[in-house]
Amino acid sequence: MGDPIADMLNRIRNAQAVGKETVEVPFSAMKFSIAKILEQKGFVKNVEFRGRKVKKIIEIRLRYDDKLPRITGVKRISKPGQRIYTAAQDIQTIKRRQGILILSTSKGFMTDQEARKEKIGGEVFCEIW
């Protein structure tokens, strides 16, 4: 089986490349948490959970600024075959603070700024700018 997080990020990137309004991804709590962070940080308009039982999906409404995609790049860092962890003091800033790192910590998913403030490290999932 592939990497569901990379699949979600690729679906978002591909949908924005062709100017789509929304993108749907199969539901998982992990993907929903990551999508909610993208919504909080203004990378996407909104995130909704739809369906029930087997047909659960996450609907992501994409955001554009002057017809340009709000997300200009994504990079999957920690992969199923190679996990990447970082300590709180080693968390780097992304693209001159224009981007975010999403980390999985003991307190759930959070951005690099939140993790630095809480002084906790974790698994570095992806970088978005």
Report the CATH number at residue 36: 3.30.1370.30
Q: Is residue 10 domain-shared with residue 64, that is, in the same domain?
A: yes
Q: What is the DSSP string of 81-127?
A: TB--EE-GGGPPP-GGGTSEEEEEETTEEEEHHHHHHHT--EEEEEE
User: What is the Cα–Cα distance from 112 to 121, expressed in whole angstroms?
Assistant: 9
**Is the CB of residue 50 less than 8 Å from the CB of residue 65?**
no
Q: What is the pLDDT of residues 15-65, one digit of tens each?
A: 999 999 999 999 999 999 999 999 999 999 999 999 988 899 999 999 999
Q: Is residue 55 domain-shared with residue 94, that is, in the same domain?
A: no
CATH value at residue 108: 3.30.1490.10
Under DSSP, is residue 22 helix (H, G, I), strand (E, B) or coil?
strand
Q: Is residue 84 domain-shared with residue 120, that is, in the same domain?
A: yes
Among 69, 87, 117, which residue terminates a domain?
Answer: 69
**Is the CB of residue 48 less than 8 Å from the CB of residue 79?**
no
Q: Is residue 11 domain-shared with residue 64, that is, in the same domain?
A: yes
User: What is the Cα–Cα distance from 39 to 62, expressed in whole angstroms?
Assistant: 9
Q: Is residue 44 domain-shared with residue 10, that is, in the same domain?
A: yes
Among 24, 54, 69, which residue terminates a domain?
Answer: 69
Among 69, 90, 107, which residue terminates a domain?
Answer: 69
Lowest mean pLDDT among 8-12, 18-22, 43-47, 93-97: 93-97
Tell me what pLDDT residue 54 has.
86
Domain that holds residue 47: 4-69
Q: What is the pTM of this model?
A: 0.91
Q: What is the pLDDT of residues 53-80, one digit of tens each?
A: 889 999 999 999 998 999 999 999 999 9
Specify the number of domains making up the chain.
Answer: 2
